[in-house]
Amino acid sequence: MSTLSIGFIGAGNMASALIGGLCDSGFDANDLYVADLDKKKSSALSDAFAVNSCDDNQSLLNCSDVVVLAVKPQVMKSVLQDLTTKPGQLFLSIAAGVRSDTLQSWLDEKCAIVRSMPNTPALVQCGATGLFANQHVNATQRQQADQIMSAVGLTIWVDQESQLDAVTAVSGSGPAYFFYMMEAIEAAGIELGLSSENSRALTLQTALGAAKLALSGDEDTAELRARVTSPGGTTAAAIDYLQAKQGLDNIKQAVGAAYNRSQQLAEQLADG
């Protein structure tokens, strides 16, 4: 593995997941740095993974080839202002909604910036991340950003930054949609007489199995659904009910609502 040095501004859950994923993939902890206003958090990561803890953000920038911005969007401006960047340095943001031109205005107009939109399954190294590179990112830096985010799961690249709003709506917010569905199925199982433990176990295993089955072949999800929906059977009864209630359209509209909100939040952060 290369001697690439990576610094994390922010020592929260996502930074912990990325550091853990990098270490598990063979990255040298001596080349990883972390800084956080809450010294207890940075010390905890340093103790857990034997990474370097920096006293402040500028010290971290001075020794990092790639700087991962892992702080909340609302505090990003105050974190980045007054920092001095290095030539050739890459900034990888995992903050939702903060656009690359906004980050540039707080850093340097010629900064190489990759925006990413991970999701919470990254915490168990099963994430899905969308990435966008601005015009100052070269091929090597693009590869570096992909290496970091792929340590916690799947990565895909989009050509237009606006497409990250769609990524946010589909995969960024997506786990909550599935949790919502699982919550309902688990509750239904209990109402139908199953114990809470058995209903939970069956629901979660079925969700896991359905995802694995979908990933195992080339069939689209509509085909997979049709295969288990025998005419006049139990599955057909459930699907017919959902279709009568416009279930598919409702889900698509819900994803669209997340997309619209993502755009609104980006505008608010840019104005702030």
Residue 250, C-beta contacts closer than 8 angstroms, at least 6 positions apart: none
Q: DSSP for 104-151?
A: HHHS-TT-EEEEEE--GGGGGT-EEEEEEE-TT--HHHHHHHHHHHGG
Q: Cα–Cα distance between 23 and 20 in angstroms, integer?
A: 5
Q: Which domains does the chain have, with CATH numbers?
A: 6-167 (3.40.50.720), 174-262 (1.10.3730.10)
Q: How far is CA 203 from CA 50, 116, 210, 270, in A?
A: 38, 31, 11, 41
Task: Please give the chain's pLDDT, 272 residues, in tens.
Answer: 458 999 999 999 999 999 999 999 999 999 999 999 999 999 999 999 999 999 999 999 999 999 999 999 999 999 998 899 999 999 999 998 899 999 999 998 899 999 999 999 999 999 999 999 999 999 999 999 999 999 999 999 999 999 999 999 999 999 999 999 999 999 999 999 999 999 999 999 999 999 999 999 899 999 999 999 999 999 999 999 999 999 999 999 999 999 999 999 888 888 76
- Residue 75 CA to residue 18 CA, distance in Å, equals 20
